[in-house]
């Protein structure tokens, strides 16, 4: 069964450093997402990406965040200057279409900012 692959599985970084979280979505999926889950809290939407541009973003997704699909397969989330409160599990997901399509989630990247 096709999978969404995320790397790394765990990253520790110092406050103020830049991090790039990587995802390889399923090849015939068209919509790509980043979600995050702070420990003990519910999963929150960050951003959706379609046709090589951001289609929707939440209020969490400020200027410190950016997304890219540089080569048609990888989908990356960059945090420019990490803060302690960015510590969370970050999930990539993809779907074939909007609303009435199932999601496939990656296994997540646990980001710890120290």
Partner 1 sequence: KNEVEQSPQNLTAQEGEFITINCSYSVGISALHWLQQHPGGGIVSLFMLSSGKKKHGRLIATINIQEKHSSLHITASHPRDSAVYICAGAASGSRLTFGEGTQLTVNP
Binding-site ranges for partner 1 (CB under 8 A): 31, 33, 35, 37, 42-45, 48, 55-56, 58, 89, 91, 95, 97-108, 110
Enter the tokens of residue 107.
Answer: 């296994």
| CB of 35 or CB of 75, closer to partner 1 | 35
Q: What is the smallest separation between the CB atom of 61 and partner 1, expressed in angstroms?
A: 11
Tokens describing residue 90: 């970050």
Owner of token pair 């995802």: 23
Give the shortest CB-74-to-partner 1 separation in angstroms: 20
Phi, psi of 60 (to 5 degrees): -70, -35
Minimum CB distance to partner 1 smaller for 4 or for 113: 4
Distance of closest approach, residue 99 Cβ to partner 1, in angstroms: 5
* Phi, psi dihedral angles at 87 (to 5 degrees): -60, 120
Tokens of 43: 């999963």
Pick the closer one to partner 1 by CB: 55 or 81. Answer: 55
Strands 109-113 and 10-13: parallel
């Amino acid at each position: 069964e096709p999978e969404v692959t995320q790397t790394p599985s765990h990253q520790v970084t110092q406050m103020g450093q830049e991090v790039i979280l990587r995802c390889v979505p399923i090849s015939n999926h068209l919509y790509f997402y980043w979600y995050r889950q702070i420990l003990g809290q519910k999963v929150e939407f960050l951003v959706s990406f379609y046709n090589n541009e951001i289609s929707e973003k939440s209020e969490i997704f400020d200027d410190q965040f950016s997304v890219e699909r540089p080569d048609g397969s990888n989908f990356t989330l960059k945090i420019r200057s990490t803060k302690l409160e960015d510590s969370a599990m970050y999930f990539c997901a993809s779907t074939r279409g909007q609303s009435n399509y199932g999601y496939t989630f990656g296994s997540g990247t646990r980001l710890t900012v120290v």
